[in-house]
């Protein structure tokens, strides 16, 4: 089984410097692209590879680039922003890629930039990732020194500047248009779409925002071709995926596996099953903003289309496991508290709805709930759902809330009947 994304990543070892990275074949794809491929060819290859965006939404990466105006008349400068603001609760995959192989990210970002003929690339990194910042800063300097970035990269006509932007917190900074505002030195409120960032992004110029894991795939696609990439997967969506598991499993961690690996294999084989004395109750498949799945869903294939058919979303592909010693109401409350605190306050259904939901959940968990609260929570979940707000924060909050009310209804009702949390001692 091929694991291109983690081939250079050795646990407990320092990541490869540029010399070691190049020795392992690094920057070959970038050289090939800037010297021998037209930008449109790179985009077409990535489209053919069927690379879905790994930030959580699963949008076709090549298609996203194809909306950027190209050619002589296209206005500039153009920008790429790499979303390294990994802050989705339960997600810890981009950290692995940045700490393990920073040059892979830089080469991938440069390839994305070349495809849309960007002038500048920003790596938008969350403030708390101090080790990633140190490693990326050094790697960017090495890439400039060896001609992989800067003027006329690798002897071509193409020039690209790359900067590391250290953010200052807030989940909203990782939202596509919130990130644009953050880079411009503003509050990370969302922007109305259209216009889409590919046409009017940073300072009104064409901008593509891509996730870390998404662009880390690009050197391998360029080197090995679209067919090879599609064949890495068990399903129609190309490539491998960095999956992960946290919670009361025997071996929490991350694994690079074929896209479409069944959920059961993740839980039972790679994560080693549940810890002694714990039983599986539910699974959040891809970060806080994805719907609960239950043990009945274990045979779902973990790709974007299949998880959606099962009623949730693949999201970031790092699963959070709910065990039978933990209270589903308490877990839902924790998730909704997160969304409430991180709401930027721009849209009323979001800040108002989440405030109300957290109040009701707090009451139920504390033993002061009423049965009609559950109806109110149902209607709040519907109000937070897509269509009522500028960005996906509120819909993200609705997913665990609505699915918890559906799958753990009996647990909510027990809290209310007993006027206490059955899990509290």
Partner 1 sequence: MLSKEEMQEIEVEASRYETRQAAAIDAMRIVQDRRGWVSDEAVLDLAGFLDMSPAELDSVASFYNQIFRRRVGRHVIQVCDSVSCWLMGYEPLRDLLIRMLGAGMGETTADGRFTLLPVVCLGACDRAPVMLIDEDLHTNIDQGQLETILDKYK
Binding site for partner 1 (CB under 8 A): 77, 86-92, 94-95, 120, 126-131, 161, 163, 165-171, 173, 182-188, 202-203, 244-248, 252-254, 284, 288, 318, 320-323, 326, 330-331, 334-335, 338, 341-342, 344
CA distances for 312 relative to 20, 53, 188, 262, 334, angstroms: 41, 17, 27, 14, 19
Q: Which CB sits closer to partner 1, 97 or 263?
A: 97
Q: Which CB sits closer to partner 1, 148 or 321?
A: 321
As a dihedral over the C-alpha atoms of residue 39, residue 40, residue 41, residue 44, rounded to 10 degrees, the angle is: 130
Q: Which CB sits closer to partner 1, 10 or 187?
A: 187
Q: Which CB sits closer to partner 1, 233 or 254?
A: 254
Q: Which two tokens stand for residue 294?
A: 């239950």
Beta carbon of residue 372, minimum distance to partner 1 (angstroms, whole number): 27
Beta carbon of residue 169, minimum distance to partner 1 (angstroms, whole number): 4
CB under 8 Å to 314, separation ≥6 — which residues?
56, 58, 285, 286, 290, 302, 303, 304, 306, 307, 308
Contact between 400 and 284 (Cβ < 8 Å): yes
Q: Which CB sits closer to partner 1, 341 or 417?
A: 341
Q: Which CB sits closer to partner 1, 69 or 77?
A: 77
326: left (phi over 0), alpha (psi -120 to 50) or beta: beta
One-character DSSP codes across 345-392:
S-SHHHHHHHHHHHHHHHHHHTT---HHHHHHHHHHHHHHSTTSSSSS
Beta carbon of residue 201, minimum distance to partner 1 (angstroms, whole number): 12
CA 216 to chain centre: 13
Burial state string for 93-118 with b = 16 or more CB within 10 A and e = fewer than 16: bbbbbbbbbbbbbbbbbbbbbbbbbb
Q: Which CB sits closer to partner 1, 151 or 376?
A: 151
Q: Which CB sits closer to partner 1, 67 or 203?
A: 203
| E strand map for 11-119 | 79-84
Beta carbon of residue 48, minimum distance to partner 1 (angstroms, whole number): 32
Query: Looking at the chain, how many residues does it have?
Result: 425
Closest CA to 209 of 369, 79, 46: 79
Where do the H-state alpha helices sit in 274-343?
304-309, 328-342
Beta carbon of residue 400, minimum distance to partner 1 (angstroms, whole number): 9
Beta carbon of residue 393, minimum distance to partner 1 (angstroms, whole number): 13
Beta carbon of residue 88, minimum distance to partner 1 (angstroms, whole number): 7
Beta carbon of residue 167, minimum distance to partner 1 (angstroms, whole number): 7
The edge-to-edge listing of strands for the beta sheet with 120-125 is 161-166, 120-125, 79-84, 207-211
Beta carbon of residue 84, minimum distance to partner 1 (angstroms, whole number): 10
Q: Which CB sits closer to partner 1, 25 or 345?
A: 345
């Amino acid at each position: 089984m091929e694991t291109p994304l983690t081939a250079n990543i050795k646990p407990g070892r320092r990541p490869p410097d540029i010399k070691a990275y190049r020795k392992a074949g690094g920057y070959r794809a970038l050289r090939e692209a800037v010297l021998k491929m037209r930008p449109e060819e790179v985009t077409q290859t990535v489209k053919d590879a069927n690379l879905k965006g790994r930030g959580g939404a699963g949008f076709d990466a090549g298609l996203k680039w194809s909306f950027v105006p190209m050619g002589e008349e296209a206005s500039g400068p153009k920008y790429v922003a790499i979303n390294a603001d990994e802050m989705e609760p339960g997600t810890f995959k981009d950290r692995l890629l940045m700490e393990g192989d920073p040059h892979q990210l830089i080469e991938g970002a440069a390839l994305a930039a070349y495809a849309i003929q960007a002038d500048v690339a920003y790596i938008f990194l969350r403030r708390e990732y101090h080790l990633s910042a140190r490693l990326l800063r050094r790697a960017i300097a090495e890439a400039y020194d060896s001609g992989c970035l800067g003027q006329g990269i690798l002897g071509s006509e193409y020039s690209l500047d790359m900067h590391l932007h250290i953010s200052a917190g807030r989940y909203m900074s990782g939202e596509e248009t919130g990130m644009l505002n953050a880079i411009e030195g503003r509050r990370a409120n969302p922007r109305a779409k259209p216009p889409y960032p590919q046409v009017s992004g940073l300072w009104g110029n064409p901008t593509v925002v891509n996730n870390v894991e998404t662009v880390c795939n690009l050197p391998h696609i360029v080197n090995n071709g679209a067919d090879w990439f599609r064949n890495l997967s068990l399903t129609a969506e190309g490539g491998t995926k960095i999956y992960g598991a946290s919670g009361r499993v025997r071996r929490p961690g991350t694994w690079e596996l074929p896209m479409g690996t069944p959920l059961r294999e993740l839980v039972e084989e790679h994560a080693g099953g549940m810890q002694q004395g714990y039983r599986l109750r539910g699974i959040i498949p891809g970060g806080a903003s994805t719907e609960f799945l239950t043990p009945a869903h274990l045979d779902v294939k973990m790709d974007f289309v299949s998880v959606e058919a099962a009623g949730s979303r693949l999201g970031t592909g790092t699963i959070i496991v709910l065990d039978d010693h933990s209270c589903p109401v308490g877990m839902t409350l924790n998730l909704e508290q997160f969304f409430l605190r991180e709401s930027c306050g721009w849209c009323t259904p979001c800040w108002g709805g989440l405030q109300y939901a957290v109040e009701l959940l707090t009451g139920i968990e504390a033993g002061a709930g009423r049965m009609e609260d559950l109806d109110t929570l149902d209607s709040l979940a519907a109000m937070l759902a897509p269509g009522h707000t500028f960005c996906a924060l509120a819909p993200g909050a609705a997913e665990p809330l609505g699915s918890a009310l559906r799958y753990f209804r009996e647990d909510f009702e027990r809290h209310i009947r007993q006027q206490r949390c059955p899990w509290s001692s």
